[in-house]
Amino acid sequence: MTDNAKQKLIFALDVDNLEDARSWVEQLQGQVGVFKIGKQLFTKCGPEVVNLVQDGGADVFLDLKYHDIPNTVAMAGLEALRLGVKMFNVHALGGFEMMAKLVAEVDKVCPRGNPDRPVLLAVTILTSSNEDTLRGVGIDRPVEVMVPKLAKLAKDAGMDGVVASPKEVGLIREACGDDFAIVTPGVRPTFASQDDQKRVTTPGDALRAGADYLVIGRPISAASDPVAAAQMILDEMQAALEGS
Residue numbers annotated as active site: 65
What secondary structure letter does DSSP report for 168? Answer: G
| Contact indicator for 60, 35 with CB cutoff of 8 Å | yes
| Contact indicator for 183, 121 with CB cutoff of 8 Å | yes
Which helix (H) or strand (E) segment holds residue 135: the answer is helix 131-136
Q: Mapped to the 3 state alphabet, what secondary structure does 54-119 carry?
A: HHCCCEEEEEEEECCCHHHHHHHHHHHHHHCCCEEEEEHHHCHHHHHHHHHHHHHHCCCCCCCCCE
Please list, residue by residue across 168-205, b when 16 or more beta carbons sit within 10 angstroms of its beta carbon and e when fewer do.
bbebbbebbeeebbbbbbbbbbeebeeeebbbbbbbbb
| Contact indicator for 220, 234 with CB cutoff of 8 Å | no
C-alpha–C-alpha distance, residues 41 and 208, integer Å: 32
